[in-house]
């Protein structure tokens, strides 16, 4: 039965996290925005609190999924939680000690042994290279088998949590001439000789999150540290499938990143409306936007856009929870939320004018933070490409 | 109404009944609406026998209590929204005409007195189409439903209605009309008008779109109605009426925009320029991707508000924002639909220019599609 309200269980989780955001995260926002590479020590407390709440839920058995019928599980829970935490601060959330994007990959495709050994470590994801952004099939980092080990060579950039993490999941090719199919991911423990953090980026936003460049020079790791099969498919179909599997990770990570944009945009809308209320601007939801002031009409428009993006995110997550293929919907929600988040946060700065632009308030920070959400985990244009291919039934060689 | 329990889950699954009903309505839209839409638009007439044919869908029959001759299935905003979306996939004008009596019935069931229901509902359970409509819009720039110039003055034994209404669907043939007018105390009231009382004149209107919908201007010159013509026996819940209607209008937008998407997809995939299908180019393909994205969001906004309405939860803000979003995106999709076909889209050989003209109405329509 159609019902597009989040469940009571998820509402409770969200309400709790909103409290954490308001009282424990937001007060740190400006401090760690200014002290760019400082380690947000206070966030350890938040991480511990969240972990405690999670395990208490697990112990209680959580919401038991029924034997049949619809479920609201981890994916909807994740987007709901992320929205609340990123309402607090998206940079601090990304820099929160304990878990990174690499954990998602390990938990999704790791063997039981790998999950046991690394699933709970702080794992970052190394994909992008200096010469390779969105074209992730074109990476040059190599992994060569040598006895009981893999030897990794190459340079990775834009590694979120790259410095603070304990474990890295590294994309590397076994043989670049074999194309996508030869790309595998490898688990590298930080501190392994040959693996070195060479630089931390200075960024416009999410400055509380460390973004590292990491080089691998004859970095040797055990043979069992490959994620998934080490075989390179020999036929075209197999090759396509192999890389498709790697890319599928994104189906699970795009809605969460979209949810981050939902959280930041909500933060901006809430603060902007608070500042505008002082000047007597308040939404009544009565007259049509066209008969309202330009300022009110724009706020209505942004509220509508925010709800639109949020529902697309929830739909994509709901499909994942209910084991429906959601590749297109994941990209749809990322495209919509990414551009909405960017638009809304920038407009809120503009509407609040001097106060919006000033560091006295956080609107200007939200506007800087939001930009990355329309870039990482697939840019706006990559999402449009994926959606377009699906809608039009085109292959990647037809619609490039 | 089906109120979900407090522990209801987020769910996008249609019920079996909704799924089956959708198939029926979609088949009807494809076989009995779409093929006539462009001809009807050019001729500015409704296809002969069209509205009688819609009776087979049982739209108005469904929510009317069995005791009054109906099917006695609880009025469902969600099912209504689905029906309207699917009808509009065939054609917006004909869909709006087909559901005008349903909108009247829905408002009557929602806010009418038992006596009013008993008096009027049975006439919608017969063998022929019973034209009924709602008159809210008034012909002036900056019109807002919060600022009505049409008035219902209290007189001995009833009310006296004066004013002008525009864009009234089925406005020439409607035998029953719900007219919204401001009362002496400044609040809006809804009045049931039967037939053509003295002082009411109806004139056909022509607009840039909605050409096959019989749209009329109604002028009320001191039209007398009895006291019991006022809908309900307590204050008219105007906000609820507007909100429920906005959901129907959103559904009209969703269905029409789905038609645009389906059409441009096929056309642009076949259209060859510079040696390959134009959809091999990102500038074209991304435009279509964006139509698909915004359309899905329009649908979810509409469904969410309808589900809240059905569950008896507050849904005013959701309905307001759904209308705001659908009004804006529908026109964007309408104009992109023409753009994607280029000069061909501008000519009447393709339906996209008709959809463009019809979709311009979404932001303007108000009060006519209560679910």
**A225 and A249 both lie in a single domain:** no
> In the predicted model, is pLDDT for residue A85 greater than 90?
yes
Beta carbons of B11 and A387 less than 8 Å apart: no
Q: What is the CATH number of the domain that holds B169?
A: 2.40.110.10
For A387, the closest of B289, B304, B325 (CB atoms) is: B289
**B84 and B22 both lie in a single domain:** yes
**B145 and B253 both lie in a single domain:** no
- Structure token pair of residue B296: 């899905």
Task: Report the SS3 class of residue A318.
Answer: helix
Distance of CA A144 to the CA centre of its chain: 30
**B285 and B174 both lie in a single domain:** no
Cβ contact B262:B93 at 8 Å:
no
- Structure token pair of residue A397: 């060689």
- Chain A interface, best mutation among B83, B277, B293, by max A CB count within 10 A: B293
Report the chain A residue with the minimal C-alpha distance to residue B2: A1
Report the chain B residue with the minimal C-alpha distance to residue A395: B280
**A177 and A283 both lie in a single domain:** no
**B2, part of any domain:** no
Report the chain A residue with the minimal C-alpha distance to residue B325: A304
Quote the pLDDT of residue B6: 66
Alpha-carbon span A241 to A376, nearest angstrom: 24
Cα dihedral A136, A137, A139, A143 sign = positive
Alpha-carbon span A330 to A312, nearest angstrom: 8
Alpha-carbon span B272 to B277, nearest angstrom: 4
Beta carbons of A308 and B297 less than 8 Å apart: yes
> In the predicted model, is pLDDT for residue A65 greater than 60?
no
Alpha-carbon span A266 to A17, nearest angstrom: 14
Q: What is the CATH number of the domain that holds A332?
A: 1.20.140.10
Quote the pLDDT of residue A54: 83
Q: Which of A233, A255, A281 is the last residue of a domain?
A: A233
> In the predicted model, is pLDDT for residue A10 greater than 70?
yes
Contacts with A323 (C-beta within 8 Å, 6 or more apart), sequence order? none
**List A163, A296, A364, A377, catalytic entry:** A377
Residue B286 sits in which domain range? 238-359
Q: Which of A70, A102, A134 is the last residue of a domain?
A: A102
Residue B9 DSSP class: P
Alpha-carbon span A207 to A31, nearest angstrom: 10
> In the predicted model, what is the mean pLDDT of residues B345-365?
97
> In the predicted model, is pLDDT for residue A61 greater than 70?
no
Q: What is the CATH number of the domain that holds B100?
A: 1.10.540.10
> In the predicted model, what is the mean pLDDT of residues B234-241?
96
Quote the pLDDT of residue B168: 98
Quote the pLDDT of residue A101: 82
Percent of chain A residues topping a pLDDT of 90? 79
Task: Report the SS3 class of residue A142.
Answer: strand
ipTM: 0.96
What domain count does chain A have?
A: 3
Please identify which residue in the block is written with the tokens 């010469």: A131
DSSP H or E stretch at residue B222: strand B215-226
| Chain B nearest C-alpha distance from A262 (Å) | 14
> In the predicted model, is pLDDT for residue A245 greater than 70?
no
Q: How confident is the model at residue A51 (pLDDT cuts 50, 70, 90)?
A: confident
Beta carbons of B325 and A308 less than 8 Å apart: yes
- Chain A CB contacts of B4 below 8 Å: 1, 3
> In the predicted model, is pLDDT for residue B5 greater than 70?
no
Cβ contact A130:A86 at 8 Å:
no
Beta carbons of A305 and B325 less than 8 Å apart: yes
With CA atoms as reference, report the closest residue to B217 among B228, B232, B201: B201
- Chain A CB contacts of B11 below 8 Å: 1-3, 70, 318
> In the predicted model, is pLDDT for residue A315 greater than 90?
yes
Q: How many Cα atoms within 13 Å fall on the side-chain side of residue B106?
A: 30
Quote the pLDDT of residue B4: 53
Contacts with B126 (C-beta within 8 Å, 6 or more apart), sequence order? none
With CA atoms as reference, report the closest residue to B93 among B20, B19, B43: B43
**A108, part of any domain:** no
**A157 and A65 both lie in a single domain:** no
Instruction: Please list the alpha-helical segments (H only) found in B112-217.
Output: 114-120
Alpha-carbon span B315 to B305, nearest angstrom: 6
Global pTM? 0.95
**A305 and A325 both lie in a single domain:** yes
Alpha-carbon span A159 to A213, nearest angstrom: 6
**B369, part of any domain:** no
**A299 and A360 both lie in a single domain:** yes
**A212 and A133 both lie in a single domain:** yes
> For residue range B150-201, what is the model confidence (pLDDT) as tens digits?
999 999 999 999 999 999 999 999 999 999 999 999 999 999 999 999 999 9
- Chain B CB contacts of A70 below 8 Å: 9, 11, 13
Distance of CA B356 to the CA centre of its chain: 17
- The strand pair at B176-183 and B188-194 is best described as antiparallel
Beta carbons of B300 and A336 less than 8 Å apart: no
Quote the pLDDT of residue A100: 82
Q: How confident is the model at residue B1 (pLDDT cuts 50, 70, 90)?
A: very low
Beta carbons of A1 and B10 less than 8 Å apart: no
Q: Does B265 touch chain A (CB under 8 A)?
A: yes
Alpha-carbon span B262 to B90, nearest angstrom: 12
> In the predicted model, is pLDDT for residue A283 greater than 70?
yes
Percent of chain A residues topping a pLDDT of 70? 97
**A56 and A168 both lie in a single domain:** no
Quote the pLDDT of residue A69: 86
**B368, part of any domain:** no
> In the predicted model, is pLDDT for residue B295 greater than 90?
yes
**B209 and B299 both lie in a single domain:** no
First to last CA, chain B: 13
**A224 and A332 both lie in a single domain:** no
- Looking at per-residue pLDDT, the higher value among A131 and A271 belongs to A271
Beta carbons of A384 and B282 less than 8 Å apart: yes
Alpha-carbon span A84 to A90, nearest angstrom: 10
- Chain B CB contacts of A392 below 8 Å: 265, 268-269, 279, 285, 288
**B320, part of any domain:** yes
Residue A201 sits in which domain range? 121-233
> In the predicted model, is pLDDT for residue B62 greater than 90?
yes
**A248 and A370 both lie in a single domain:** yes
**B324 and B257 both lie in a single domain:** yes
Residue A377 annotated as catalytic:
yes
> For residue range A332-349, what is the model confidence (pLDDT) as tens digits?
999 999 999 999 999 999
């Amino acid at each position: 039965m159609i019902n597009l309200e989040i469940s009571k269980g998820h509402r409770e989780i969200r309400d709790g996290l909103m409290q954490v955001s308001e009282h424990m995260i937001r007060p740190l926002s400006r401090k760690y925005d200014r002290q760019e590479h400082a380690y947000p020590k206070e966030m350890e407390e938040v991480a511990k609190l969240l972990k405690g709440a999670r395990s208490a839920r697990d112990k209680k058995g959580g919401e038991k999924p029924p034997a049949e019928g619809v479920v609201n599980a981890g994916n909807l829970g994740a987007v709901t939680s992320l929205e609340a935490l990123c309402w607090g601060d998206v940079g601090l959330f990304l820099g929160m000690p304990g878990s990174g994007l690499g954990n998602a990959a390990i938990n999704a495709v790791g063997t039981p042994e790998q999950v046991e050994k690394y699933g709970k470590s702080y794992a970052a994801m190394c994909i992008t290279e200096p010469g390779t952004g969105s074209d992730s099939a074109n990476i040059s980092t190599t992994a060569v088998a040598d006895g009981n080990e893999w030897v990794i060579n190459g340079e990775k950039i834009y590694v979120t949590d790259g410095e603070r993490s304990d474990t890295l999941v590294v994309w590397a090719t076994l043989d670049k001439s074999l194309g996508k199919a030869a790309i595998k991911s490898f688990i590298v423990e930080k501190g392994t000789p040959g693996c070195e953090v060479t630089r931390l980026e200075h960024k416009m936003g999410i400055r509380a999150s460390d973004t590292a460049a990491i080089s691998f020079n004859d970095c040797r790791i055990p043979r069992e540290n490959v994620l998934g099969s080490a075989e390179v498919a020999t036929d075209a179909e197999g090759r396509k499938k192999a890389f498709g599997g790697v890319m599928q990770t994104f189906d699970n990570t795009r809605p969460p990143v979209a949810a981050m944009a939902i959280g930041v945009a909500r933060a901006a809308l809430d603060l902007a409306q608070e500042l505008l209320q002082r000047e007597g601007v308040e939404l009544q939801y009565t007259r049509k936007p066209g008969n309202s002031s330009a300022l009110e009409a724009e706020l209505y428009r942004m509220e509508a856009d925010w709800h639109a993006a949020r529902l697309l995110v929830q739909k994509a997550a709901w499909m994942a929870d209910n084991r429906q293929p959601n590749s297109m919907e994941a990209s749809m929600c990322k495209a919509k939320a990414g551009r909405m988040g960017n638009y809304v946060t920038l407009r809120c700065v503009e509407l609040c004018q001097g106060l919006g632009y000033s560091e006295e308030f956080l609107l200007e920070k939200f506007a800087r933070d939001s930009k990355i959400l329309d870039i990482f985990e697939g840019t706006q244009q990559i999402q449009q490409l994926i959606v377009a291919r699906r809608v039009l039934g085109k292959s990647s060689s037809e619609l490039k | 109404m089906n109120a979900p329990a407090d522990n209801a889950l987020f769910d996008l699954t249609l019920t079996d009944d909704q799924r089956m009903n959708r198939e029926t309505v979609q088949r009807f839209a494809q076989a009995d609406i779409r093929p006539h839409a462009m001809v009807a638009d050019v001729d500015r007439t409704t296809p002969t026998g069209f509205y009688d044919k819609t009776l087979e869908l049982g739209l108005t029959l469904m929510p009317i209590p069995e005791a009054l001759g109906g099917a006695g299935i609880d009025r469902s905003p969600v099912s209504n929204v689905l029906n309207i979306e699917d009808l509009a996939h065939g054609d917006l004008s004909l869909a709006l005409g087909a559901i005008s009596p349903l909108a009247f019935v829905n408002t009557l069931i929602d806010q009418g007195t038992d006596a009013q229901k008993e008096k009027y509902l049975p006439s919608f359970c017969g063998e022929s189409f019973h034209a009924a409509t709602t008159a809210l819009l008034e012909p002036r720039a900056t019109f807002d439903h919060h600022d009505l110039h049409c008035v219902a003055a209290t007189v001995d034994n009833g009310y006296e209605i004066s004013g002008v209404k525009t864009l009234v669907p089925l406005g020439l043939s409607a035998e029953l009309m719900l007219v919204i007018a401001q009362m002496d105390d400044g609040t809006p009231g809804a009045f049931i008008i039967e037939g053509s009382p003295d002082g009411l004149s109806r004139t056909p209107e022509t607009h840039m779109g909605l050409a096959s919908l019989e749209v009329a201007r109604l002028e009320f010159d001191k039209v007398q109605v009895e006291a019991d013509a006022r809908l309900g026996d307590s204050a008219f819940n105007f906000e609820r009426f507007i909100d429920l209607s906005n959901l129907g209008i959103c559904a009209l937008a969703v269905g029409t925009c789905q038609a645009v998407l389906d059409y441009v997809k096929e056309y642009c995939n076949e259209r060859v320029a510079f040696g390959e299908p134009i959809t091999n180019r990102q500038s074209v393909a991304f435009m279509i991707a964006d139509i698909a994205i915004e359309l899905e969001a329009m649908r979810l906004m509409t469904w969410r508000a309808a589900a809240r309405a059905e569950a008896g939860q507050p849904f005013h803000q959701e309905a307001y924002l759904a209308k705001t979003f659908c009004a804006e995106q529908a026109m964007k999709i309408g104009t992109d639909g023409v753009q994607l076909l280029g000069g061909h889209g501008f000519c009447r050989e393709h339906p996209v220019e008709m959809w463009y003209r019809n979709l311009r109405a979404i932001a303007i329509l108000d009060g006519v599609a209560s679910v």
